[in-house]
Amino acid sequence: MTRKKEIRRIDVDYLARVEGEGSLRVKVVDGAVGDVEFGIFEPPRFFEAFMRGRMFTEAPDITARICGICPIAYQMSSVHAMEAAVGVTVGGQLRALRRLIYCGEWIESHALHVYMLHAPDFLGYQSAIHMAADHRDIVERGLRLKKAGNSIVGVLGGREIHPVNVRVGGFYRVPTKTELLTLVDELEWGRDAASATVRWVAQLPTPKIEMDFELVSLSHPGEYPFNEGRLVSNKGLDISAAEWNDVFAEEHVARSNALHSRIKGRGAYHVGPLARYSLNFDKLRPLAQGAALEAGLGPTCSNPFQSIVVRSVEILHAFEEALAIIDGYERPEAAYVPVTPAAGVGHGASEAPRGLLYHRYRLDDDGRILDAQIVPPTSQNQLTIESDLRAVLEANLDLPDAELGWRLEQTIRNYDPCISCATHFLDLRIERSTS
Amino acid sequence: MAVHSPILRKPTLAVFKFASCDGCQLSLLDAEDELLAVAEVIDIANFLEASRDVRPGPYDVTLVEGSITTAHDAARIRRIREESKFLVTIGACATAGGIQALRNWKDVSELTALVYANPGYIDTLDTSTPVSSHVAVDFELRGCPISKGQLLEVVTALLQGRRPAIPTYSVCVQCKQRGTACVMVAEGIPCLGPVTQAGCGAICPAYHRGCYGCFGPMEAPNTEALSAWWSRLGVDDRGLVDSYRGFNAWARAFRDASDRHEAAITIRGATP
């Protein structure tokens, strides 16, 4: 005798509050999770291809256009790669200014995600604008935090989105001490508001799930990583950026216009705030470290739903770091280290707000780009996002479809996916069937 | 912010993304001081980057970011046009094809093979084109990225039923307004400012670098005169091609200027 077939299907046509668009296909057969595919359909833009033949000095301006949310990350990874290729090192105050502008981007991007994109999930709102109807003061605090981060990027970079002031070797123009001091009052407010943010997100209702990730991030002996360091993991990885292609492999699958990245011989891994935090907790500045412990985090974190807390801790760290950099700033005489074109290969890895961003370029004698390779954080996290989706599905099959669908969206948003670096249209579909 | 709209109900706003970096629609969320006030007078009916609350059209004002690079998107922009009273393109991608329009000078199948291991999985058109190549556009807002002040001006003006006050003169005018000495005259730094539309606020010269053309060609630009000036500063034809082929490469005046210099390279290459 055959059972009557029961098919349950959930269609959530749009995944909102992510940067870019993609698709999710989930199948549940007889209560068991079947295929889980997180697809990326952002139309390809071919940056790596059309950069061939362009001058090495153009890379920071061109690659910034890969992502309007994290242009500094692209500018930083590209200038480090180019400087490595032509044999130049940038240190002192110029290096400090690079960290400062990165602080601005982390604050702006993380505040956007924590308040506008992620928090509404925890409280059941469609958007931060809906949330503002009940929590106006909180949303206003988030917007002001975001603006404080943007003000750093604006002063140092010329504008918030696609800043103009970063160049290979340093900057076009370095700010005066007075210009940076105008930021201090707002950054001090921001530091306090970031502490309050950590306390606020720590009490949000958070799904409990622990994942056994291989966490990968930069690690630097003296500081929480932005621009420099070795690539390390909690499972023994310890390499320089130049060894990237020995360890990581990218593969192209039908469901995605982004290349999937994996560690050769091991598979999926995780980049982003959780990885940075868990591998560099001891390098956080004191207030950030204290706030993390007070919020109930340990020195490592493997619950992706707590990424909102870790991001908030990183916002606080970035405010402390920015204030310290401004305090110690003395305007350097030269805005940049001169660079001369030379043939060579250069690698650069820096920590974008949403995780490790790797660039590699090969240059000819004139400094023209022969080939380019760019590995954004979201393509590195794709496989891990799929394994999270599977785990969250398995733990929540008893939820009604609408709630389960929203929980899966939230699972994706845990990663603050920069699908612009990757996707087109997130069409979420859960198919349940019994056979 | 008071919007005296001729539309009696709360006007609806939609935001759509095509091939782009997300930066121009982010400008709306970057209007930190105005966002909540805007949301009180405008009904944000479809803005996926910000909200799960998505309602079907028609919409009073539709903002479109990104260029058209796939057959699917070419069909999608036609549907969006049908359900939009005012359609405004925001940024260099939607208005000129964006940096990804560099493909328009190449063989796309070769580009695909360079980036992707299995080119057969990739569905793409040979060109990246502006929205206006596909549907009628009511207003084109320039910039890579757009200026959020200009964005607020355009939305406000359309809802008030007046023409947006967006200047079409060159970046040079904004350098004068800002009090920045001309970097090209004073220091010999090549600058696209004389042929580029204002709107950014003339940021680059104030940061001691030449303009690189984010807002695209101004009205009736004299690219020949500018190219001659750049040549005297030591920039060769290849350098000129690259400079015109930036984020607004496919905009007519920049495209023509770049083709002119590319032809000059070819002619010299053929007759040594």
Q: How far apart are the C-alpha atoms of A303 and A369, rounded to whole Å? A: 41
Q: How much of chain A exceeds pLDDT 70, in percent?
A: 89
Q: Does residue B156 lie within any of the structural domains?
A: yes
Q: Please, which pLDDT band fits residue B62 given cuts at 50, 70 and 90? A: very high
Contact B128, B74 (CB under 8 A): no
Last residue within a domain, chosen from B160, B182, B204: B160
Structure-token pair, residue A194: 């970031």
Closest chain A residue to the Cα of B110, Cα to Cα: A49
Best of A65, A127, A147, A172 to disrupt the B interface by mutation (most B CBs within 10 Å)?
Answer: A65
* Together in a domain, B40 and B123: yes
> Please, which pLDDT band fits residue A392 given cuts at 50, 70 and 90?
very high
pLDDT digits (tens, 9 = 90+) for A400-413: 888 888 898 899 99
Same domain? For B44 and B120 the reply is: yes
CB distance B53–A126 less than 8 Å? yes
Q: Looking at the structure, do residues B195 and B95 belong to the same domain, yes or no? A: no
Contact between A184 and A323 under an 8 Å Cβ cutoff? The reply is yes
Task: Note whether B196 and B118 are same-domain residues.
Answer: no
Structure tokens of A109?
Answer: 């991007």
Side-chain-side CA neighbours of residue A55 (13 Å): 17
For tokens 């001891």, the residue is A282
Residue B4 lies in a domain: no
B107 and B208, same structural domain? Answer: no
β-strands A166-167, A216-219 pairing: unpaired
**Best CA proximity match to B204, nearest among A372, A203, A166, A243:** A166
Residue A399 and residue A406 in contact, taking contact as beta carbons nearer than 8 Å: no
- Put simply, whether A11 touches B (Cβ < 8 Å) is no
Instruction: With a threshold of 0.90, tell me whether the complex ipTM lies above it.
Output: yes
Average pLDDT over residues A75-96: 98
Rounded to whole angstroms, how far apart are CA atoms A318 and A224?
Answer: 10
Contacts of A150 in chain B (CB under 8 A): 30, 32
A68 closest CB neighbour out of B26, B50, B207 = B26
The domain that holds B83 is classified in CATH as 3.40.50.700
Q: Is residue B166 part of a domain?
A: no
Strand A32-40 vs strand A170-171: parallel, antiparallel, or unpaired?
A: unpaired
Residue A427 has pLDDT above 60, yes or no: no
Pairing of strands B59-65, B139-141: unpaired
pLDDT-derived band at A430 (thresholds 50, 70, 90) equals low
- Comparing CA positions, the residue from A396, A400, A410, A213 lying closest to residue A305 is A410
Quote the CA–CA distance of A335 and A30 in Å, as a whole number: 64
DSSP state of B220: S
| Cα B9 to Cα B99: distance, rounded to the nearest angstrom | 39
Q: Are residues B58 and B82 in the same domain?
A: yes
Query: Would you call B208 and A17 a contact, using CB atoms and an 8 Å cutoff?
Result: no
Q: Determine how β-strand A166-167 pairs with β-strand A170-171.
A: antiparallel
Higher pLDDT, A134 or A7: A134
CATH numbers and ranges of domains, chain A: 7-44+396-433 (no CATH), 47-380 (1.10.645.10)
Given a contact cutoff of 8 angstroms between Cβ atoms, the answer to whether A4 and A425 are in contact is no
Count of domains observed in chain B: 2
Among chain B residues, CA nearest to A155: B207
Q: Is the same domain home to B129 and B217?
A: no
Q: Which domain holds residue B150?
A: 12-160
Instruction: Using alpha carbons, select from A159, A152, A227 the residue that is nearest to residue B209.
Output: A159
Residues B23, A71: C-beta atoms closer than 8 Å: yes
Give pLDDT tens digits for A137-174: 999 999 999 999 999 999 999 999 999 999 999 999 99
Q: Determine contact: A172 vs chain B, CB below 8 A.
A: yes
Q: What are A349's strand-pairing partners?
A: A358
Is the pLDDT confidence value at A327 over 50? yes
Tens digits of residue pLDDT in A2-50: 555 555 454 445 555 667 666 777 888 888 888 787 777 667 788 888 8
pLDDT at B2: 46
Q: Among residues 253-282 of chain A, which lie with CB inside 8 Å of chain B?
A: 253-254, 257, 259
| Percentage of the residues of chain B whose pLDDT score is greater than 70 | 90
φ and ψ at B224, to 5 degrees?
A: -65, -45
Q: Are residues B29 and B135 in the same domain?
A: yes
Q: Is residue B223 part of a domain?
A: yes
Mind telling me how many Å the CA of B265 is from chain A's nearest CA?
15
Residue B79 scores a pLDDT above 90: yes
A193 touches chain B (CB under 8 A): no
Do B98 and B220 meet the contact criterion of CB atoms below 8 Å apart?
no
Could you give the C-alpha distances from A128 to A14, B14, B119, in angstroms and in order? Answer: 17, 17, 40
Between residues B88 and B50, which one has the greater pLDDT? B88
Q: Would you say residue B235 lies in a domain? A: yes
Q: How many other C-beta atoms are found inside a 10 Å radius of the C-beta of residue A46?
A: 24
What are the φ and ψ backbone dihedral angles of B15, each rounded to 5 degrees? -130, 125
User: Cα–Cα distance between A199 and A313 in angstroms, integer?
Assistant: 10
Indicate whether B214 belongs to any domain.
Answer: yes
pLDDT value at residue A405 = 85
Same domain, B194 and B235: yes
Same-domain status, B186 and B153:
no
Q: Tally DSSP H helices, then E strands, for chain B.
A: 12, 5
Bond from prior residue into A60 cis (ω within 30 degrees of 0): no
If asked whether residues B104 and B41 sit together in one domain, one would say yes
Domain-embedded: residue B203 = yes
Among the three residues B160, B182, B202, which one is the final residue of a domain in this structure? B160
| Cβ-based neighbours of A271, under 8 Å, separated by 6 or more | A215, A216, A217, A354, A355, A356, A377, A380, A381
Distance of CA A54 to the CA centre of its chain: 27
In this structure, are B47 and B128 located in the same domain? Answer: yes
Cα B220 from Cα B230, distance rounded (Å): 19
Per-residue pLDDT tens digits for B29-39: 999 999 999 99
| Beta carbons within 10 angstroms of residue B40's beta carbon | 13
pLDDT at A428: 43
CA distance A413 to A282: 27
Closest residue in A to B119 (Cα) is A252
| Angstrom distance (rounded) from CA B80 to CA A164 | 33
The torsion region of residue A97 among left (phi > 0), alpha (psi -120 to 50) and beta comes to: alpha
List chain A residues with CB under 8 Å of B18.
43
pLDDT category at A423 given cuts 50, 70, 90 is very low
Is B4 exposed, middle or buried (CB count within 10 Å of its CB: 0-12, 13-18, 19+)?
Answer: exposed
Please indicate, yes or no, if residue B165 is contained in any of the structural domains.
no
- pTM, 2 dp: 0.93
Question: Would you state the pLDDT for residue B80?
Answer: 98
Question: Is residue A421 pLDDT above 80, yes or no?
Answer: no
Q: What is the DSSP letter of B182?
A: P
Which one of B21, B48, B115 has the shortest CB-CB distance to A16?
A: B48
Confidence bin at A383 (pLDDT 50/70/90): confident
A354/B89 Cα distance (integer angstroms): 28
DSSP classification of residue A361: E
The tens digit of pLDDT for each residue in A243-252 reads 999 999 887 7
CA distance to partner chain A, nearest, from residue B185 (Å):
18
What gap in Å lies between CA A168 and CA A338, rounded to an integer? 9
In the 3-class helix/strand/coil scheme, how is A372-416 assigned residue by residue? EEEECHHHHHHHHHHHHHHHHHHHCCCCCHHHHHHHHHHHHHCCC
Domain boundary among B160, B193, B215: B160
User: CA of A139: which chain B residue's CA is closest?
Assistant: B36
pLDDT band at A95 (very low <50, low <70, confident <90, very high): very high
